[in-house]
Structure 1
Amino acid sequence: MADVATKYTNGPPRRGHVHPAWQVAAVSASAIVAAGAFTTMAGLFTDPLHREFGWSHGSIGLAASVNMVVYGAIAPFSAALMDRFGMRAVVGTALAAVAAGALLSTAMTAPWQYVLTWGVLIGLGSGAVALTFAATVTQRWFVRRRGLVSGVLTAAGVFGQFAFLPVLSWVVSGHGWRTAAVLLALVACAALPLALTLLRDHPADAGVRAYGARRFAGKPTARPGAAVRTVRVLCTVARGAPFWLLAATFAICGASTNGVMWTHFTPAAHDHGMLATTASSLLALIGVFNVAGTVFSGWLTDRIDPRRLLAVYYALRGVALFCLPVLMSATVRPPMVAFVAVFGLLDVATVPPTLALCRELYGADSPVVFGWVAAAHQLGAGLAAFLGGVSRDAFGSYDPLWAAIGAVCGAGALLSLVVPRPAAGAVTPRPEPG
Structure 2
Amino acid sequence: MRLFYGWPLVTALGLTTVVSYGTTAYLYGVILLPMAAETGWDRASLSLPFAISMVLAGLVGLPIGRLVDRRGARLVMAAGSAISGLALLAVSRSGALWHLYVLWGGAIGLGMAMTFYPVSMVVVAHWFHRRRGAAYGVLTLLGGFASVIFIPLAGVLIPMIGWRDTVAILGIVQLLVPLPLHAFLVRRHPEDLGLHPDGAEPGDEVAPVPLSGATLRQALREPAFWFITVAATIEQAAAMIVWSHGIAFIVSRGFDSVLAAAIAGLVGAVSLPGRLIFNLLSDRISARHMLGYCLVVQGIGITMLAAATDIRWLYAYAVLFGVAYGTRSPLRASVMAGFFGRRAYGAITAVQGLPVALAAGLGPLGAGALFDALGGYDLAFWLTATAFAIAGAITLVTPRPRSVVSPAGG
**Interval of TM-score (by shorter of Structure 1 and Structure 2):** 0.7 to 0.9
Residues 53, 106 of structure 2: 8 Å contact kept:
yes
Q: Does 2:74 align with 1:88?
A: yes
Determine the C-alpha separation between the residues in 2 that align with 1:403 and 1:172: 29
C-alpha displacement of 1:392 = 5.5
Change beyond 3 A, Cα 1:319–1:115: closer
Residues 144, 213 of structure 1: 8 Å contact kept:
no
Give the structure 2 partner of residue 249 of structure 1. Answer: 231
C-alpha displacement of 1:391 = 5.4
Q: Does 2:76 align with 1:97?
A: no
Give the structure 2 partner of residue 432 of structure 1. Answer: none
Letter of the structure 2 residue corresponding to residue 94 of structure 1: G
Residues 290, 347 of structure 1: 8 Å contact kept:
yes
Change beyond 3 A, Cα 1:280–1:19: same
Determine the C-alpha separation between the residues in 1 that align with 2:38 and 2:246: 27
Larger Rg: 1
Residues 142, 213 of structure 1: 8 Å contact kept:
no
Change beyond 3 A, Cα 1:85–1:170: same
* Paired residues for 1:283-362 under 5 Å: 283-326=264-307, 328-329=308-309, 331-333=310-312, 335-362=313-340
Give the structure 2 partner of residue 366 of structure 1. Answer: 345
88-97 vs 159-168, greater mean Cα deviation: 159-168
In structure 1, stretches of 5+ residues that fail to align are: 1-13, 221-231, 430-434
C-alpha displacement of 1:142 = 0.9
**Superposition CA RMSD, Å:** 3.1
Q: Deviations over 1:111-166 (max 9, x none)?
A: 32232222211111122211212321221111232112213323444322441233
Aligned length: 397
C-alpha displacement of 1:310 = 1.9
Equivalent of 2:139 in 153, 158, 161: 153
In structure 2, stretches of 5+ residues that fail to align are: none
Give the structure 1 partner of residue 7 of structure 2. Answer: 22
Equivalent of 1:194 in 181, 186, 190: 181
What percentage of aligned pairs have identical amino acids?
26
Could you say what secondary structure the match of 2:188 adopts?
A: coil
Equivalent of 2:359 in 369, 377, 380: 380
Determine the C-alpha separation between the residues in 2 that align with 1:339 and 1:34: 25
Change beyond 3 A, Cα 1:386–1:98: closer
Q: Which has the higher contact order (CA 8 A, sep 6+)?
A: 2
Determine the C-alpha separation between the residues in 2 that align with 1:61 and 1:405: 16
Q: Does 2:122 align with 1:136?
A: yes
Determine the C-alpha separation between the residues in 2 that align with 1:42 and 1:195: 24
Determine the C-alpha separation between the residues in 1 that align with 2:95 and 2:375: 36
Determine the C-alpha separation between the residues in 2 that align with 1:109 and 1:275: 27
Give the structure 1 partner of residue 158 of structure 2. Answer: 172
Change beyond 3 A, Cα 1:272–1:27: closer
C-alpha displacement of 1:60 = 4.0
Determine the C-alpha separation between the residues in 1 that align with 2:380 and 2:92: 37
Change beyond 3 A, Cα 1:236–1:195: same
Could you say what secondary structure the match of 2:144 adopts?
A: helix
Letter of the structure 1 residue corresponding to residue 18 of structure 2: V
Q: Deviations over 1:239-268 (max 9, x none)?
A: 432121011111232133222x22444444
Could you say what secondary structure the match of 1:211 adopts?
A: helix
TM-score of the superposed pair, with normalisation by structure 1: 0.80
TM-score of the superposed pair, with normalisation by structure 2: 0.84
